[in-house]
């Protein structure tokens, strides 16, 4: 081979390796960006869902404060409500201003800024007003604590009405932005993959055929990464069951299907009783282990069902049961409750049992295409709150069944 041919081959090899290096770097950076985007999206969505849960908990504690007659019980509720308000304010500030330690972005999108600061939503003002009203209620004397207290009325109204709707709108926007960002990054990843395949094929044919084996290995590795990313995006990292995003997608599909088939659809909301006390007593690592055991019990109890068990947020879980009426859903919920109690997980901080227990709210409906699964979830939530108010470690059903604009008793 003459020197000119050697130099030409050397140039080709150099360009080939440089091209491969650039493509490999782009693929690595893209993969890193996907993982980072998933972490940020998961943190924001989980925190906004937590914000929703905290407002509901604040409303529940406010109501319990008015209903409570014993001074020691009132003091306990005041402490819990103070902690919830503090955590709610910290969560709200983190969503607005960001927190690098919790993977929260420091800048809001234009759509999110509109939801937080512009009419008609103004979530920032609504949240500050809600927090201020909750703190003001804490300062009320026992003589002024009644169902007619205007601050209590505002808290209950906001937690079930305008504030709740605006928070749900923010959560939906966060999810939409996350999905849009993921699609954009995935499209770029697909482009990088296609270009890589073409370059590797040409170089294998023209320069070194053994690189075909490398191409296959890299393609398989990229496929494995995609599978892992899909797993991360649809499953809760701590418990291994479906996450809130999977729950929302699943119940939406089942709602549409049940509406077309005129079949029943049931939702069970599950909350671990006195879980904060559990963390305070045994520590957060033990609390994580408890969450995993509860999730496993819920999953195993429905292993033959076509339903879905998901972590809804914090210590709250959600179960979706297609083709299940209210009576059958109640039976299933009682099985879930008993299965967790039968695990005999010690809980010295519980006020209703010496073991870990759960409270469950059940609702069922025959969906309509004009309706929304949110109404069914809210019915189950209300039943869950009633179960907790009535002493916990029990199952309560919704007072009515909503199907679009029709109410079936």
Positions marked active-site: 315
For 6, 7, 9, 207, 348, the CA distances from 1, given in Å and listed in that order, are 7, 10, 10, 15, 83
Calpha distance 2→28 (Å, rounded): 38
How many of the other CB atoms lie within 10 Å of CB of 15?
Answer: 12
Contact criterion met (CB below 8 Å) for 383 and 363:
yes
Residue 25 preceded by cis peptide, ω within 30? no
Contact criterion met (CB below 8 Å) for 271 and 337:
no
Half-sphere exposure of 396 (CA within 13 A, CB side): 22
For 76, 269, 374, 382, the CA distances from 332, given in Å and listed in that order, are 33, 12, 21, 18
* SS3 label, residue 220: helix
Interhelix angle 71-97/3-67, rounded to 10 degrees, is: 150
Cα 359 to its chain centre, rounded Å, is 19
Calpha distance 217→225 (Å, rounded): 12
Contact criterion met (CB below 8 Å) for 355 and 269:
no
Calpha distance 287→173 (Å, rounded): 31
Calpha distance 44→35 (Å, rounded): 14
How many of the other CB atoms lie within 10 Å of CB of 34?
Answer: 21
Calpha distance 29→21 (Å, rounded): 12
DSSP assignment of 298-349 equals HHHHTTTSS-EEEEEETTEEEEEEET--HHHHHHHHHHHHHHHHTT--B-TT
Contacts of 86-94 with C-beta under 8 Å, sequence gap 24+, read 87/54, 88/51, 88/54, 88/55, 88/58, 88/127, 88/131, 89/131, 91/47, 91/50, 91/51, 91/54, 92/51, 92/124, 92/127, 92/128, 92/131, 94/47
């Amino acid at each position: 081979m003459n020197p000119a041919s050697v130099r030409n081959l050397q140039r080709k090899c150099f360009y080939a390796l440089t091209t491969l290096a650039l493509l490999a770097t782009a693929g690595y950076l893209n993969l890193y960006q996907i993982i980072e985007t998933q972490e940020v999206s998961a943190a924001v969505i989980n925190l906004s869902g937590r914000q929703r849960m905290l407002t509901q908990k604040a409303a529940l504690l406010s109501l319990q404060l008015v209903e409570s007659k014993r001074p020691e019980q009132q003091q306990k509720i005041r402490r819990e409500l103070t902690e919830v308000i503090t955590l709610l304010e910290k969560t709200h500030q983190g969503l607005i201003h960001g927190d690098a330690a919790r993977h929260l972005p420091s800048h809001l999108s234009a759509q999110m800024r509109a939801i937080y600061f512009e009419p008609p939503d103004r979530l920032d003002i609504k949240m500050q007003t809600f927090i201020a009203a909750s703190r003001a209620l804490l300062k009320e004397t026992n003589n002024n604590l009644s169902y007619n207290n205007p601050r209590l009325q505002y808290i209950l109204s906001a937690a079930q009405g305008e504030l709740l709707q605006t928070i749900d709108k923010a959560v939906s926007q966060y999810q939409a932005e996350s999905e849009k960002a993921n699609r954009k990054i995935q499209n770029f990843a697909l482009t990088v993959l296609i270009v890589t395949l073409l370059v590797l094929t040409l170089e294998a044919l023209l320069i070194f055929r053994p690189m075909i084996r490398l191409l296959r290995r890299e393609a398989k590795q990229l496929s494995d990464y995609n599978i892992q990313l899909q797993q991360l995006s649809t499953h809760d990292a701590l418990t291994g069951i479906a996450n809130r995003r999977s729950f929302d997608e699943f119940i939406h599909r089942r709602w549409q299907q049940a509406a077309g088939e005129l079949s029943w659809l049931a939702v069970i909301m599950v909350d671990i009783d006195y879980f904060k006390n559990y963390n305070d007593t045994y520590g957060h690592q033990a609390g994580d282990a408890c969450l995993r055991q509860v999730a496993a019990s819920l999953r195993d109890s429905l292993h033959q069902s076509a339903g879905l068990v998901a972590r809804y947020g914090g210590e709250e879980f959600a179960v979706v049961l297609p083709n299940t009426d209210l009576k059958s859903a109640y039976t299933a919920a009682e099985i879930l409750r008993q299965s967790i109690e039968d695990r005999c997980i010690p809980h010295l901080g519980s006020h209703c049992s010496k073991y870990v227990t759960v409270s469950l709210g059940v609702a069922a409906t025959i969906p309509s295409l004009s309706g929304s699964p949110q109404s069914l979830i809210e019915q189950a939530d209300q039943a869950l709150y009633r179960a907790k108010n009535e002493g916990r470690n029990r199952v309560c059903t919704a007072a009515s069944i909503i199907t679009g604009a029709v109410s079936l008793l």
